[in-house]
Amino acid sequence: EAMTVNFGAIAEAYRGKRVLVTGHTGFKGGWLSLWLSEMGADVTGVSLPPVGDRSLFDSAAIADLVDHRIADIRIAEDFGEAAQGCEPDLLIHMAAQSLVRPSYEDPVGTIATNVTGTAVVLDWARRASSAKGIIVVTSDKCYENHEWPWPYRENDALGGADPYSASKGCTEIVASAEARLNAAHGTASVSDDAATALEDAAQSLARRLGVDHLEFRNRSARHPDWPTQELYCTFRKAIL
Say how far apart CA 29 and CA 55 lie, in whole Å: 12
Residues in the chain: 240
pLDDT of residue 216: 73
pLDDT of residue 206: 81
pTM of the model: 0.75
Q: Mean per-residue pLDDT for 62-66?
A: 96
With cut-offs at 50, 70 and 90, classify the pLDDT of residue 52: confident
Cβ pair 39, 14 in contact under 8 A:
yes
Express each pLDDT in 160-205 by its tens digit. Answer: 889 999 999 999 999 999 888 755 444 555 567 767 777 788 788 8
Say how far apart CA 56 and CA 32 lie, in whole Å: 11
Express each pLDDT in 119-136 by its tens digit. Answer: 999 999 988 878 888 999
The mean pLDDT value of the chain amounts to 86
Closest to 22 in 3D by CA, of 108, 106, 105, 80: 80
Which amino acid, one-letter code, is at 66? V
Torsion of CA 102, 108, 111, 112, to 10 degrees: -120
DSSP the chain: -PPP--HHHHHHHHTT-EEEEETTTSHHHHHHHHHHHHTT-EEEEEEPPPSSSS-HHHHTTGGGTSEEEE--TTSHHHHHHHHTT---SEEEE--S---HHHHHH-HHHHHIIIIIHHHHHHHHHHHH---SEEEE---GGGB-----SSPP-TTSPB--SSHHHHHHHHHHHHHHHHHHHTTBTB---SSHHHHHHHHHHHHHHHHHHT-S------SS-S-TTS--------------
